[in-house]
Amino acid sequence: MKLFFFRLLFIFSAFTIIYPQNFSKPIYLEWNLLKKDSTLNLYISFRVSYDNLFFVKDNSHYKSGITISYDVMDENMNLVKRVSDEFNVSVDDYNQTNSDLSFIEGVTAISLNQGNYSVVPLVNLLYADKDVILKKFDIEVPNPNDFIFGKPIVIESKLTNCDNSNDLFRLANFEGVLPFSSENYSILIPLNTTEVYDLSVDIIQYGKSLKQNDYSLIKNEELNFLNCSNKIIVSKNKSDNHHFIILKDINKMIDEDEFIIHIKSDKEEKKFDLRSVWINKPRSLRNVKEAILILFDYFDEKVVDEIYRADSDSLYYSLKKFWKKMDKTPETTFNEIMSEFYSRIDFAIDNFSSINKSDGAKTDRGKVFIKYGEPSSNERVFSNNKVLEIWQYEQLEKKFIFTDNTGTGNFILEK
């Protein structure tokens, strides 16, 4: 078994590829509150994958877009404000119109007085003449003078650019959750006060403090949200009474679960409940028992059986503990090897399954793909009423020949 572990680690390091997964939501909506002078602005952002849009051909391009409206209601469900924005997108490649990894994004600002509100979003898909009413959400707008700590804002750690400006923050835009990912994400917390004294920040998960006071305080900078080339920028402007905290690359230490940010100053103490979510979680990993059963085809039976016999409440923990032994970045919570393995299973199910079945990971082609990854070359040959697929792995100096003798897509490994 140890030998197989080593080989698997080597192969996965050599062929680390990511295949598209289905997102769990067709549209993400997120709201944030920022203080602007003596008022509070509500910023509502959306994120829709291209495969949920309706594209039409426009000369050599494909265009699409949405109109999104927000009805803001008071406690008596009287209409207070109605705001509407249109957002458009254009692509050159038709295949991109079906992508679940490309998105149209936008943000809308609404100025509100103190009070309790309900917001009803309405989406219209351009060129499809289709309206979609989304679930309303409630929001409490506090007195601006009492708004010391703003809601945590999740951003991509990698800085971006907009027009002629560089080194800008980009909103992650997944409904405020912290992505559980190999990519790095950070959190901004706005501070609205003239001075900051005795500030402390604690990150807590599973009842344990992960890190205390590991933050950067940026003084006299005011945050703002801007639309820029189909991405949402979190910009910074000079302001004497505004500051913010950066929790850099915080997702590296957070497990896939709920966690707390506990922040204190001389003026206020607040706890924020947040979640770390695996946005692109492979489908084959969403059913833990099935995810464990597939291991019997690749690992020592006794070891896998021990995982499977764990208590139902600790099955997922046992599975992650098993994969941790092969983690090439053990200092972080995200395990790229585990992610790659189950992503390959998804790909095998999608591409190598029999008709009306989901057995792709059990087929000969599926097993080779899961073990070795994408071949350097894949040639299909028709000969003597048979169909042959020849897979070459140049770096590994391996060749596999699969034969379909019936024409039904049932390829059997010959060599």
CA-wise closest residue to 349 among 371, 367, 374 = 367
Which pLDDT score, from 0 to 100, does residue 415 have? Answer: 64
Which pLDDT score, from 0 to 100, does residue 84 have? Answer: 96
Average of per-residue pLDDT values in the chain: 90
Which pLDDT score, from 0 to 100, does residue 129 have? Answer: 81
Within 181-230, strands assigned E span 185-192, 200-205, 208-212, 216-218, 221-228
Q: What percent of the chain has pLDDT over 90?
A: 76
Which pLDDT score, from 0 to 100, does residue 16 have? Answer: 38
Q: 391: left (phi > 0), else alpha (psi -120 to 50), else beta? A: beta
Strands laid side by side in the 377-383 sheet:
377-383, 386-393, 398-404, 412-413
Which pLDDT score, from 0 to 100, does residue 12 have? Answer: 44
Residue 212 structure tokens:
């205390």
pLDDT at residue 15 greater than cutoff 70: no
pLDDT digits (tens, 9 = 90+) for 137-190: 999 999 998 899 999 999 999 999 988 888 899 999 999 999 999 999 999 999
Residue 392 structure tokens:
């070459």
Strands 398-404 and 386-393: antiparallel
Which pLDDT score, from 0 to 100, does residue 5 have? Answer: 40
**What is the CB neighbour count within 10 angstroms for residue 389?**
18
pLDDT at residue 279 greater than cutoff 60: yes
pLDDT at residue 251 greater than cutoff 80: yes
Which pLDDT score, from 0 to 100, does residue 325 have? Answer: 92
pLDDT digits (tens, 9 = 90+) for 317-357: 999 999 999 999 999 999 999 999 999 999 999 999 988 88
pLDDT at residue 87 greater than cutoff 70: yes
Which pLDDT score, from 0 to 100, does residue 4 have? Answer: 42
- Measured between alpha carbons, how far is 168 from 23 in angstroms, rounded to an integer? 26
Give the helix ranges, DSSP H, for 197-353.
288-293, 301-308, 315-324, 336-352
- Measured between alpha carbons, how far is 3 from 260 in angstroms, rounded to an integer? 41
CB 261 within 8 A of CB 209: no
Q: Name the residue type at position 123.
A: V
CA-wise closest residue to 259 among 212, 201, 209 = 209
